[in-house]
């Protein structure tokens, strides 16, 4: 670990220049003035990004297919009928999101698969598995909830019809939105043998430590749920304070309590409320209802459980002090589950061979690979995010780290395709 991530991993070559040039092209689609992108799922900007990737893949001998939930696959079938190494991430972004989040992982996957294809052709090596570059649909979940929708449906964790029926705030369903951009496929995606994903860290650990690669061993557990805070609509001026049952005040107390909960477990528990809908949301009306999306995450399932119990007690106290009712309307739990240790070992060995500094990590954010690892052995890699900035137009990863990540992912994909992790399970 003597090589800091701020220095080039090696002199830049044609492959690096191709990655950086493609990334610049990709980042121009849906670009915002402040250096980010806005490409929410199944919007026109998302469609143009997908079209860009499709052309790129076709130009390099891949075929493409789209499944029923809009996951886009670029296929290279070396072994007819064999299952696939799925390598990818997502092209959709948050509103005014960063240009690296997801898009880097898809582009890295495309380059890695293409380099592996060239290498197999050049060496005459016969891979054991095929490769598919994947753009998982709607990872961000900003337009359509929940996040990681495409990989959830692919892995059977979410019902297709249920996902199709989800609406955005304008009432457009996922199915309608997919059809509108021509991304509503009529078949399933390819069968998976293994999976891999590379992503920016979205935290500051690698950046602070000057380490180039994070080898993800596990995800944090997350408990996401929606609540409705129910009050009574009244006049902001004339209603006596003691007669009010103010849904927005109840929601505000929940948001504050949620933050205080995180402060009780410094570094161990992350909490947040990022979305609120208030009814009627009129300046002179005490709100009758507020809907909140709550998000609690920890690497320690016991802490998460304790936090849930404490929050329930807070809900009861808020109900008692404000007269509102708090009703849970949706609930979604990800447990702490490890990435397969043999995959981590494979990636570590590859990083060592390439001379890339590395460290084991957990992921606090959800990724498509969080779903994939539950059905096939999956490798998850991180590259540094400068200052940990993410879901923000200022998101930034250095070019040298971008290129090193593609190098490592290429080696991982090659190994997975040649069956390095194949204990006979997946064929």
Which residues within the stretch 376-395 sit at the binding site for its own copies (CB under 8 A)?
A: 388-393
| 145 interacts with its own copies by CB under 8 A | yes
- For residues 372 and 191, what is the distance between their CA atoms, to the nearest angstrom? 12
| 167 interacts with its own copies by CB under 8 A | no
Taking the complex as a whole, the smallest distance from the CB of residue 48 to its own copies amounts, in Å, to: 20
Q: What own/partner pairs with CB < 8 Å and gap ≥ 24 does 247-250 have? A: 247/278, 247/279, 247/286, 247/287, 247/288, 247/289, 247/290, 247/324, 248/278, 248/286, 248/287, 248/290, 249/322, 249/324, 250/290, 250/318, 250/319, 250/322, 250/324, 250/326
Taking the complex as a whole, the smallest distance from the CB of residue 189 to its own copies amounts, in Å, to: 24
| 141 interacts with its own copies by CB under 8 A | yes
Using CB under 8 A, pick the residue from 37, 116, 216, 286 that binds its own copies: 286
Draw the binding track, 232-261, toward its own copies (x: CB under 8 A; -: no contact).
xxxxxxxxxx-xx-x-xx-xxx-xx--x--
Angle at 258 between CA 253 and CA 262, to 5 degrees: 145
Give Cβ neighbours of residue 109 (< 8 Å, ≥ 6 apart). 87, 88, 89, 133, 134, 196, 197, 198, 409, 413
Of residues 99 and 415, the one with the C-beta less far from its own copies:
99
Q: What is 109-135 written as a DSSP string?
A: HHHHHHHHHHHHHHHT---SSEEEEEE
Of residues 160 and 285, the one with the C-beta less far from its own copies:
285
Using CB under 8 A, pick the residue from 6, 7, 63, 281 that binds its own copies: 281
Taking the complex as a whole, the smallest distance from the CB of residue 188 to its own copies amounts, in Å, to: 27
Taking the complex as a whole, the smallest distance from the CB of residue 259 to its own copies amounts, in Å, to: 5
Of residues 33 and 263, the one with the C-beta less far from its own copies:
263
- For residues 354 and 351, what is the distance between their CA atoms, to the nearest angstrom? 5
Binders of its own copies: how many residues, by CB under 8 A?
71
Largest CA-CA distance found in the chain, in angstroms, rounded:
82
Taking the complex as a whole, the smallest distance from the CB of residue 261 to its own copies amounts, in Å, to: 10
Residues 258-277 close enough to bind its own copies by CB under 8 A: 259, 262-263, 266-267, 270-276
E strand intervals along 221-282: 221-230, 234-235, 269-279
Of residues 67 and 246, the one with the C-beta less far from its own copies:
246
Residues 199-238 close enough to bind its own copies by CB under 8 A: 201-204, 220, 222, 224, 232-238
Residues 17-56 close enough to bind its own copies by CB under 8 A: none
Residues 87-106 close enough to bind its own copies by CB under 8 A: 94-96
Taking the complex as a whole, the smallest distance from the CB of residue 274 to its own copies amounts, in Å, to: 5
Of residues 48 and 96, the one with the C-beta less far from its own copies:
96
Dihedral of alpha carbons 79, 83, 87, 90, sign: positive
Contact by Cβ (8 Å): 379, 199: no
Of residues 82 and 148, the one with the C-beta less far from its own copies:
148
Of residues 37 and 248, the one with the C-beta less far from its own copies:
248
What is the torsion angle, in degrees rounded to the nearest 10, for the CA atoms of residue 148, residue 22, residue 49 and residue 112?
Answer: -40
Residues 289-308 close enough to bind its own copies by CB under 8 A: 293, 295, 297
Give Cβ neighbours of residue 338 (< 8 Å, ≥ 6 apart). 217, 218
């Amino acid at each position: 670990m003597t090589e800091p991530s701020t220095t080039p991993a090696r002199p830049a070559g044609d492959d690096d220049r191709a990655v950086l040039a493609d990334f610049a092209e990709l980042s121009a689609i849906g670009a915002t003035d402040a250096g980010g992108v806005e490409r929410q799922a199944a919007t026109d900007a998302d469609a143009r990004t997908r079209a860009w990737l499709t052309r790129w893949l076709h130009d390099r001998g891949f075929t493409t297919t789209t499944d029923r939930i809009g996951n886009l696959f670029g296929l290279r079938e070396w072994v007819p009928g064999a299952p696939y190494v799925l390598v990818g991430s997502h092209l959709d972004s948050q509103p005014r999101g960063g240009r690296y989040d997801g898009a880097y992982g898809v582009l890295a996957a495309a380059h890695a698969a293409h380099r592996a294809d060239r290498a197999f052709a050049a060496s005459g090596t016969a891979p054991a598995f095929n490769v598919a570059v994947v753009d998982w649909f709607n990872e961000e979940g900003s337009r359509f909830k929940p996040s990681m929708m495409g990989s959830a449906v692919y892995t059977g964790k979410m019902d297709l019809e249920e996902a199709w029926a989800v609406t955005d705030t304008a009432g457009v369903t996922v199915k309608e939105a997919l059809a509108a951009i021509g991304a509503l496929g009529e078949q399933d995606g390819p069968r998976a043998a293994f999976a891999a994903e590379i992503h920016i860290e979205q935290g500051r650990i690698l950046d602070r430590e000057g380490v180039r690669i994070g080898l993800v061993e596990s995800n944090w557990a997350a408990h996401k749920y929606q609540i409705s805070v129910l009050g009574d609509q009244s006049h902001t001026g004339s209603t006596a304070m003691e007669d009010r049952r103010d849904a927005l005040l109840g929601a505000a107390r929940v948001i504050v309590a949620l933050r205080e909960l995180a402060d009780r477990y410094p570094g161990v528990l992350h909490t947040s409320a990022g979305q609120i809908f208030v009814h009627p949301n009129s300046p002179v009306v005490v709100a009758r209802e507020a809907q909140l999306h709550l998000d609690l995450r920890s690497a320690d399932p016991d802490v998460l459980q304790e936090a849930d119990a404490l929050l329930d007690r807070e809900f009861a106290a808020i109900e008692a002090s404000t007269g509102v009712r708090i009703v849970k309307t949706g609930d979604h739990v990800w447990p702490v589950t490890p990435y397969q240790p043999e995959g981590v070992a494979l990636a570590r060995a590859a990083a060592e061979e390439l001379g890339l500094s590395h460290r084991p990590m957990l992921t606090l954010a959800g990724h498509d690979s969080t779903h994939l690892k539950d059905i096939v052995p999956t490798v998850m890699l991180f590259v540094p995010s400068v200052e940990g900035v993410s879901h923000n137009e200022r998101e930034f990863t250095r070019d040298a780290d971008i290129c090193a990540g593609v190098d490592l992912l290429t080696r991982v994909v090659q190994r997975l395709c040649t069956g390095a992790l194949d204990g006979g399970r997946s064929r």
